[in-house]
Amino acid sequence: MSFDLRHDVPLAPLTTLGLGGPASHLADAGDAAGVREALDWSRERDVPVLILGGGSNVILPDAGFEGLVLRARAPGVSFEEGAGRGEAAGRVVVRAGAGVSWDEVVRASVERGLVGIECLSGIPGWCGAAPMQNIGAYGQELAETLVAVTAYDRDDGEVVRLPSDACGFGYRTSCFKAADRDRFVILSLELALAPDARPRPRYPELAEAVAREADLATLSPGEAVRLVRERVLALRRAKSMVIDPDDPDTRSAGSFFLNPVLSARAFDGLVERLAEHGIAAPVPSYPSPGGVKVPAAWLVERAGFRKGERRGGVGISSVHALALVNRDGTAAELLELAASIQDAVERISGLRLEIEPTIVENPPA
């Protein structure tokens, strides 16, 4: 057997929220052969399969998962200079296994003075899950540097290499989360990062934080990219968005709702709707492909929810209104709180906030 198989395994400790009951079966596979064999094992027994990564963007059912939870834990990180082709010419190609911690790849890249993913520092989870939601933060997205994904195609039973333009990337989404959900088991990533380049923070909050420390133009490229990473981590830590076992606010899935992206006309309608509820302009927004992005956290607070608010065993982070946290509660309580927030925001704005984490349900009996 080329995969590790266990039975009746608690899932809550495998997630950042710390929620979820046991898995009937849990398989850890370190390569494509292990993934294939684990899937064959489930197929022979007619057992449903859930693909799980680092557990940072998922809500598992309190009853657990009645099937096989499969984790692709391919190891390894490598850096190849001058390997970029086409638009990636002159860049360093980074290859990382699906089971490697994402922030470990960022840290190792920044230590080498490579630019392109420094703003994605501190994002929890494994590399294999990063393409699924096209992780992004502080003005950067994975899609900007990802060259290709290597994955096991469950439909064809083959290992395939999918170039970035075949991944269907959008704002916090991809084909792996949408059209091709559950089809591919991601095994590794290829990124193309720029050597000897100076980062240019685009996100105002980050740019201001960096400027308070130094003028990037006066630093070497390596010093500059390290400073940006340090400031990103500091900003995330202040919002309890860096995993810290001593910080109860980090028992979350990060930002729970997506920031709405609106056309100019829809944004004007939002302003009018909010005014009808006594919420005067200006409404915060910033440019985004396809229109303007409105901060979901601002809408949550305007709908009457406070940082630190508690509902039973769950609540809202004391430092970030967009993070729902587990305070020894249940997944059902968390989803009930999320629904109440969605309802309240919709009443004042006409917008239904979209939940970012994946909500897992057991298949029908």
Active site residues: 172, 255, 356
| Residue whose C-alpha is closest to residue 118's, from 139, 134, 101, 99 | 139
The three-state (H, E, C) secondary structure of 91-108, written as one string: CEEEEEECCCEHHHHHHH
Residue 61 contacts by C-beta under 8 Å, 6 or more apart in sequence? Answer: 20, 21, 331, 360, 361, 362
CA 223 to chain CA mean position, Å:
27
Residue 304 contacts by C-beta under 8 Å, 6 or more apart in sequence? Answer: 344
Q: Please, are residues 59 and 27 in contact by the beta-carbon 8 Å criterion?
A: no
In degrees rounded to 5, what are phi and psi of residue 21?
Answer: -85, -165
Q: Judging by beta carbons within 10 Å of its beta carbon (0-12, 13-18, 19+), is residue 361 exposed, middle or buried?
A: exposed
How crowded is the C-beta side of 178, counted as CA atoms within 13 Å? 14
CA 249 to chain CA mean position, Å:
17
Q: Please, are residues 288 and 363 in contact by the beta-carbon 8 Å criterion?
A: no
Euclidean distance between CA atoms 331 and 335, whole angstroms: 6
**204-213 vs 221-238: helix crossing angle, rounded to 10:** 120
Q: Write the CA distances from 223 to 90, 110, 133, integer angstroms.
A: 20, 9, 30
> How many other C-beta atoms are found inside a 10 Å radius of the C-beta of residue 157?
10
Task: Record the tokens describing residue 293, joined without a space.
Answer: 């992005």
